Amino acid sequence: MTAQGIVVLWTVGLGYLLWIVNLTRRGKLYIGYTVIWVFWTVLGLVIISFQPLLNLITSALGAVFPASALSLLAFALLFAMQIYLLSQLSILSRRVALIARHVALNGLDETKSGV
């Protein structure tokens, strides 16, 4: 992989890490998803940074070239979409938990009043 490709991937990777941490900080991404995404992002950045490791992965997968521009863009888009999807699922999960808590508390209040 060229030095320019590594710089681009590091820039994208760091952008993703900042986005993931910000979503988690604001409570819009479940911490379990955050751990998974941070792990895979850091692992990917480590693999592309060390040429022998990248060559090992490339040969193990039977690929000819470490990366192509089209696959890089496709994976970047899919990665971004998955982070967005998981953040939306986290928001939905939190809302369902709040509704369940509200229903449970109101149910207890109604039984106390004899209704």
61 has a pLDDT exceeding 80: no
Half-sphere exposure of 109 (CA within 13 A, CB side): 6
Contact 41, 17 (CB under 8 A): yes
Mean pLDDT over 26-53 rounds to 87
Model confidence, pTM: 0.65
Q: Bigger pLDDT: 28 or 57?
A: 28
Question: Which range among 20-34, 39-53, 54-68 shows the weakest confidence by mean pLDDT?
Answer: 54-68
What span, in angstroms and rounded, lies between the C-alpha atoms of 24 and 107?
32
**What pLDDT does residue 45 have?**
87
Token pair of 91 as six digits: 């928001």
pLDDT at 113: 57
Quote the Cα angle for 86-104-115, to 5°: 150
Q: Return the percent helix, strand and coil in the chain, to nearest 5.
A: 85, 0, 15
Tokens of 34: 């955050």
Question: Which distant-in-sequence residues (6+ apart) come within 8 Å of 82 by Cβ?
Answer: none
| Arithmetic mean of pLDDT, 25-47 | 88
pLDDT tens profile 64-92: 666 654 466 567 778 888 888 888 899 99
pLDDT surpassing 90 at residue 44: no
Print the domain residue range for 43. 3-113
How many domains does the structure of the chain reveal? 1
